[in-house]
Structures are given as C-alpha cells and as structure tokens.
Structure 1
Amino acid sequence: MIRIYQPDDIDAVMQLWLTSTIAAHPFIAEQYWHESAPLVRNTYLPAARTWVYLHSKTIGDENPIAGFISILEEQLVGALFVAQPFHGQGIAKALMEHVQQHYRALTLEVYQQNQRACHFYRKQGFTQIGKAYNAETKSTILTLHWQHLFN
C-alpha cells in the first residue's frame, strides 16, 4: 500500500535511506552519507512531498516501510529507495508509477556507476539530458528526465 509520508515516519525513512544509499553507492565513502543524513532529515524531507510503500509482511518490530519516494520543487525526484529484502518485488516501479500520475514531468539525478538505478529509470521512460562530474564524491552524475505523453 502506498500512502503519503507522515511525520512519525521520519526515523524509519531515515534508517531506510541511510542503509539503502550506502548499499547503492559503494563507490562513495560511507562517511559522506553519514555526514549528509542531517541535511536529508532536517531540510530535504521536510521540503519534499514523500510517499511511502507499506509492506504487510513485517514481523514484530520490523519497519513496515519497504520503500519511499520524495519529490522536491514540484518535479525533482530527490529520493527513491526500497529496502534490500524487498528488491525485485515491483515496489520501486509502483512508487514511480504513483508519482508519474501526479506530475506531468519529472527530473532526477543518478550516479552513473549505479547501473541498477540507471537501468531502472530508463525502463520507466527517463532519458538522459545532462551529465556532470561531482568533485565531492568523485563520481559522474547523470540528469534524467521523464515527460508524460498525453494522447
């Protein structure tokens, strides 16, 4: 089930963000993500429109949030993460399709070395519109864009 993010979700979403972003970006020092966490928690998440995917198959104290997507500035996909145990179950696709119903166009940035994400976004109809080198992470970032095609 997809629902809008609620303030009580902050700890679960941040835990999912940190774990997932470290796993998805092994080519970037883990410390970079730990240092970025306060900015995500205190600036980006409050400014974003975020939806969470709740998975029904959680046990006890397990986090029921299996994934989330955040949109900044009315079109920028700032985050799309799915917990590793739920990879390959269509959660990222469901979250992306959900926001594609709410926006006419979306833009995002993805590290070129994150081949899994690059492949996923292309399958969702995104095309590359830019490329830049990030000196802080020493990695290339691709800018991708999706436009809703009306009949």
Structure 2
Amino acid sequence: MIHEWHNSDLSPLLSLWLESTIYAHPFIQERYWHDSEALVREAYLPYATTWVWQEHGELEGFISVMDGQFIGALFVRPALIGRGIGKALMNHVKQRYDWLSLEVYQKNERAVKFYYAQGFRIEESAWQEETRHPTWIMNWQAGQTP
C-alpha cells in the first residue's frame, strides 16, 4: 500500500494536498492555500522524497521528506483520518531516517497531538509571517523514548 512516488505528474498529490490542508487549517483563509499551490508544485514536491498510500488505485495519503530530514508534508484524505494511514506513513519514514523535523501550526491541535504520539517533541516556536500564525518546530530521533 505504501510506495515511493515516481510519477512526474504531481496533480494527484497537489489535489490531495489542497483538500487536506484546507481541512486541517480552518483558521487560515482558503485563498492562501490556493495561492501557495504553485510553490508546492514547483519548489517543494519535486525536491522531496515522497511516499504514498494508495488503495484500489486511489491516492489516500502521502508523506514528503526534504533534505533527508524535514517532513514537509503529511496529508491524509480527510474522510480517512483516524484509520492509521498517517501513522503507517510516519512509521515508514522513521524506518529510513535517524532524525526528523517538522513544522506544524500551533492551532492544528489534532496534528500536534498526532506528532507527539509518534514520538516528536516540541523544540521551539516560530512565526509564519505569511499566515500570521505561530508554529511549533518538532523533532524526532531514533532510539529516544517517547
């Protein structure tokens, strides 16, 4: 079900990213995400290693790691949240890296709790000027006790 994405057509990833990111961030204007799509398509996804969860040929979730350490994306189709897809994708990358970092909006409490349950710990806070919202920088290291 999980495999690395090698398709040069990023539109399925972008479609799932847009649907999921709007759902996960109701505190940010939807227009911001539409305006960010080109940046995700041109500057992030092509330079990340991405693994996808597919069922019956349908893309249901994906995780992207940039620079061998930064989780730039972890998205699951909203209707399937809570079914273990995000955890499976996270475990998949944790088997391949010894240290991972990510940035998550502080108001995205569901994601913060999820990452904490996966062994990530808050290291610092940051401010996203574009959205005018604070974030947490969270890290995970292999072998650390959760």
Q: Which runs of 4+ in 1 moved over 4 A?
A: none
TM-score normalised to structure 2 length: 0.95
* Counterpart amino acid of residue 11 in structure 1: S
CA RMSD of aligned residues (A): 1.2
SS of corresponding position for 1:149 = coil
Q: 2:83 aligns with which of 89, 97, 121?
A: 89
1:135 alignment partner in structure 2: 129
* Counterpart amino acid of residue 47 in structure 1: Y
* C-alpha distance in structure 2 between counterparts of 1:64 and 1:53, whole Å: 8
- Which region of structure 1 is more displaced relative to structure 2, 130-139 or 39-48? 130-139
SS of corresponding position for 2:10 = helix
* Counterpart amino acid of residue 134 in structure 1: Q
* C-alpha distance in structure 1 between counterparts of 2:5 and 2:111, whole Å: 23
* C-alpha distance in structure 1 between counterparts of 2:100 and 2:70, whole Å: 6
TM-score normalised to structure 1 length: 0.92
- Post-superposition offset of 1:39: 0.7
* C-alpha distance in structure 2 between counterparts of 1:45 and 1:8, whole Å: 10
- Post-superposition offset of 1:42: 1.2
* C-alpha distance in structure 1 between counterparts of 2:63 and 2:9, whole Å: 13
- Post-superposition offset of 1:84: 1.2
Give structure 2 stretches of 5+ with no counterpart: none
Per-residue deviation, residues 80-120 of structure 1 (Å, max 9, x unmatched): 00001211110000000000000000000000000000000
Judged with a 3 Å threshold, the aligned counterparts in structure 2 of structure 1 residues 84 and 71 are, in CA distance, closer, same or farther, namely same
Give structure 1 stretches of 5+ with no counterpart: 57-62
- Post-superposition offset of 1:131: 0.2
Q: In percent, how many aligned pairs have the same letter?
A: 48
- Which region of structure 1 is more displaced relative to structure 2, 135-144 or 44-53? 135-144
- Post-superposition offset of 1:49: 0.3
* C-alpha distance in structure 1 between counterparts of 2:129 and 2:83, whole Å: 35
Match status 1:79 vs 2:65: no
SS of corresponding position for 1:41 = helix
Structure 2 matches for 1:3-22, cutoff 5 A? 3-22=3-22
* Counterpart amino acid of residue 80 in structure 2: F
* C-alpha distance in structure 2 between counterparts of 1:142 and 1:29, whole Å: 20
